[in-house]
Amino acid sequence: GRKSTKIFRQILKGGEYMELLTIKEVCEVLKISRWTAAKLIESGALKASMVAGTYRVKRSDIDEMINNNVVKK
């Protein structure tokens, strides 16, 4: 089920679980296209790792990218 899938997408690091998202999930969270997600990764604006031949993005890296790109008036 969905819960077991979510647990599968988490890995243990330093005693804490870290949620890994697929590109599709990143697109859903940020409300962007796959093309835009790919450009963010290629430009280095969004950190990603290759896991079993596909990109995975830590949820914390999405939050970091958002916090670093706050528009200031």
Per-residue pLDDT of the chain (73 residues; tens, 9 = 90+): 454 445 445 555 565 677 899 999 999 999 999 999 999 999 999 999 998 888 999 999 999 999 988 777 7
**The token pair that represents 71 in the structure block:** 């528009």
SS (H, E, C) 23-59: HHHHHHHHCCCHHHHHHHHHHCCCCCEEECCEEEEEH
**The token pair that represents 20 in the structure block:** 């890994």
**The token pair that represents 27 in the structure block:** 């697109």
pTM: 0.73
Q: What sign does the dihedral 19-61-48-23 (CA atoms) show?
A: positive
